[in-house]
Every structure is written in C-alpha cells, then in structure tokens.
Structure 1
Amino acid sequence: MTRLVFFCGHAGTGKTTLAKKLIGPLMKATASPFCLLDKDTLYGSYSAAAMGMLTGDPNDRDSPLFLEHLREPEYRGLLDTARDNLALGVSALVVGPLSREVRERRLFDRAWLGVDANVALRVVWVHTSEETAHQRIVARGNPNDAYKLAHWDEYRQRRFVPSGDLCEDLLMFDNTAPAAADYEALLARIVGEPLAVSGMPPVPV
C-alpha cells in the first residue's frame, strides 16, 4: 500500500519541519519508501523568476496576481509529482498551505486528486497561534514572507483553524510546543494503527 500524506497549514506553523521529522519514522513504521515534496522547494525558483519578470518582485507569493495565476499551477504540479511517485510504489509527503483545498475538502476527493482506493490518504492540519506564527515568520527572515508581513492585516484574514465538519478525518496537530508523545501519536494516526503498536520506532525530538 502506498500513502499520500498532506501537511497543510498557514505560514509559520512548521509544516516542513514536522514532515521532515516524521519521514524517517514513517519509513520505519511502514517498511516502505517515502519522498518529501515541498511546494516551496519544487517551485520556489520558478515562481521567483516568473514574479520577478511580471512585477519586479521575485519574492511575492501573496499578491492577488500570484494567487490568481500561479498558485493553482504550482499545486497541480505538486500533485502530478506525487502521483508519479505513487505509481512507482513510493509514498509521498506533500507540504504546502493548501488552505483553500482543506476548506473545500478536495484533499479527500480521490477523483480530484487522481488517486485510487489503493492509496491511503491522510491530511494533517498543522496549526499554532497567530502570534506564534508571526514571530516565527519574522525570525526565519525568508524574503518570500515580505508581502505577508507588509500586509499582515490582509493576510491574517486568510488564516483559519478548521472546525466542525471540516475536521472530519482531518488530523489536527498543534505545533506550538509538541512533546515526543505528540509526535508518536500523530505518527500512529498517519500509519492508521492503534497508539500502542508494539515496536513502533520513537520519533526524535
């Protein structure tokens, strides 16, 4: 069985760090290969070149122009790459905000994803407080965050924490200050086994 695992959430929540922390334990727990597909790594340079040509600002990832014209192609390419790996028997951890897709429940729609019933789907929503996320964004000093920070009141309107029906099958993970037990519990939920799994590898903190 191959697995398609999404790590979604707003900027500064630690999606990529969490995925990198879990990929090794996931490979051990499932005895199968995984790849890590991070949207910023795959498309960061391309989008920088495109936005630099269009607007003169290669670091823009939040303006209406980017959101209307480049966001969707980036995500489609990300999913295409995940499907190529799944077809080769390699499970995929896909990292990106994907907030719109979570709102619309698209990540549970196998027809929209283009994956069949043999692929195990898991969607992790990584969250933390707005204040913590803002502090992390400032601390990391990524030029791609400049638009967010300069237009924070506008950007924060796009932030949300799934609730109600949106949380059905969604694995919520508070990444503010997780302990080892929190990582192990999330690992067990992704693998789809009870928490007390004999021989489950510890997750490094």
Structure 2
Amino acid sequence: MTPDDRALPVAYITLGGAGSGKSTLSRHLSSLTGAAYLDKDTLAGPLVRVALEAFGQDPSDRESNELYLQRVMPAEYETLFAAAGRNLELGHSVVLDAPFVAYLKDPDFLRRSTESAGWPAARIRVIHVRTSPEVVQQRLIERGSERDRVKLAGWDAYWERFGALECRWNTGEHDVVVNDDETAFTRLRELVQQI
C-alpha cells in the first residue's frame, strides 16, 4: 500500500446472512471510523415493500420470490452502490450494510457494480461476518421480524442454502470477523487500526 492509497476514502463492505450480526458490526464500524453508514434495507426497504405488494407478492418472502430476485433486488443493490459512489466522490468513507448473498459466487460482481455506479478511486475492504447457526437462529427468534418468519419455518433448508456461503469476489481486500460473541468488536477495532 502506498501513501496515496492511505489518502483514499475507504468503502467497507460488510456481508453476511440474516441474523449474522452484520448490521450491528456495520454500525459499530461506522462509529469507529466516521464512515457514512449505508444500509440497503433503510435506503430501499419501503420501496421494495410497496413494489412487492403492488405486484401481489408477499413482502416477507424474498428468498424464493422470482420477481424480487430478478427485478427488485438488483435495483436495491444499484441504489446502494450509487449512494456509496456519491459519498466516495465527496471524499467520505462508507460502510455498506447488505447481505449480498445472491451475488457472492460471482467473482466479478463487485468490480462490475462499482464501475456501473461510477465509483472514484477508493480502498475497498470486504468484511465477511461469520456466525454459527445456533447463534443466528436465536437472533432471528429474538428480533421477531416478519421477514424472518419464512426462514425460521424452514430453518434447516434455509441454513443449508444460505448459512455457509463463501464470497468469491476478486476485488478488494478481504477480512473475516467471527460474530458469535463480543470478541467480534475487538476484531473489528483491530482491522480498523490496520487500515
């Protein structure tokens, strides 16, 4: 890394499934760094709900909804990357909080998305949030969200499909944070200090 690289804004991309704790870690990361916190569900969630309801779809079942997966979800991520790009242009570091589950197998997804959104030069740190199935299941039960109803009803199938996905992106610097307990916050602080 050159001194010029250290002067660039940083795009922290936290990824992990529902209940992994990625949003908690993302908010903590934003607090530690002063980076703008960009949550996909906050930026696009109400519009997604309205769109799915307008098409007569169940807004709580997204993982098996083809309309959502093929048309709505790509627009959510396009919005997220565009908002991040505008902040980066202003020299502001950002934290992108989204699961990215549908895109993890595509090695070129991150490069294409940042180019399409017109990102300026920036350092990209991808933080993989890993959490055990028992902890994830308990967190989903405790938060009681309508969106988790389908996941919990078919827990074994859900975890088999979404629980242990590997990110194959070939862009950015990649780190792993295990988030089963409070030590995740220590690991996150260590990563920030390295940067």
Deviation at 1:161, TM superposition (A): 4.4
**1:136 and 2:143 aligned:** no
Letter in 1 for 2:60: N
- Give the Cα–Cα distance (whole angstroms) in 2 for the partners of residues 98 and 92 of structure 1: 16
Q: Which residue of 2 aligns with 1:120?
A: 123
Larger mean CA deviation between 36-45 and 52-61 belongs to 52-61
- Give the Cα–Cα distance (whole angstroms) in 1 for the partners of residues 105 and 90 of structure 2: 30
Deviation at 1:177, TM superposition (A): 0.7
Aligned with residue 191 of structure 2, among 181, 186, 198: 186
1:39-188 superposed matches below 5 A = 39-65=40-66, 66-106=68-108, 108-109=110-111, 111-114=112-115, 115-116=119-120, 118-156=121-159, 157-162=161-166, 169-179=173-183, 181-188=186-193
Alpha carbons of structure 1 residues 70 and 80: separation in structure 2 relative to 1, 3 Å: same
- Give the Cα–Cα distance (whole angstroms) in 2 for the partners of residues 184 and 82 of structure 1: 22
Conserved? CA contact 1:51–1:59, under 8 Å: no
Alpha carbons of structure 1 residues 75 and 84: separation in structure 2 relative to 1, 3 Å: same
Conserved? CA contact 1:82–1:92, under 8 Å: yes
Letter in 2 for 1:26: T
- Give the Cα–Cα distance (whole angstroms) in 2 for the partners of residues 91 and 165 of structure 1: 20
- Give the Cα–Cα distance (whole angstroms) in 2 for the partners of residues 3 and 83 of structure 1: 11
Conserved? CA contact 2:13–2:96, under 8 Å: yes
Alpha carbons of structure 1 residues 163 and 49: separation in structure 2 relative to 1, 3 Å: closer
Unmatched segments (≥5 aa) in structure 1: 28-33, 193-205
- Give the Cα–Cα distance (whole angstroms) in 1 for the partners of residues 138 and 60 of structure 2: 19
SS at match of 1:138: helix
Deviation at 1:95, TM superposition (A): 0.5
Conserved? CA contact 2:105–2:167, under 8 Å: no
SS at match of 2:152: helix
> What TM-score do the two structures reach when normalised by structure 1?
0.78
Q: Which residue of 2 aligns with 1:4?
A: 11
Conserved? CA contact 2:104–2:168, under 8 Å: no
Conserved? CA contact 1:12–1:133, under 8 Å: yes
SS at match of 2:104: helix
Conserved? CA contact 2:20–2:131, under 8 Å: yes
SS at match of 1:37: strand
Q: How many residues align?
A: 181
Alpha carbons of structure 1 residues 165 and 101: separation in structure 2 relative to 1, 3 Å: closer
> What TM-score do the two structures reach when normalised by structure 2?
0.82
- Give the Cα–Cα distance (whole angstroms) in 2 for the partners of residues 90 and 164 of structure 1: 27
- Give the Cα–Cα distance (whole angstroms) in 1 for the partners of residues 23 and 15 of structure 2: 9
- Give the Cα–Cα distance (whole angstroms) in 2 for the partners of residues 20 and 14 of structure 1: 10
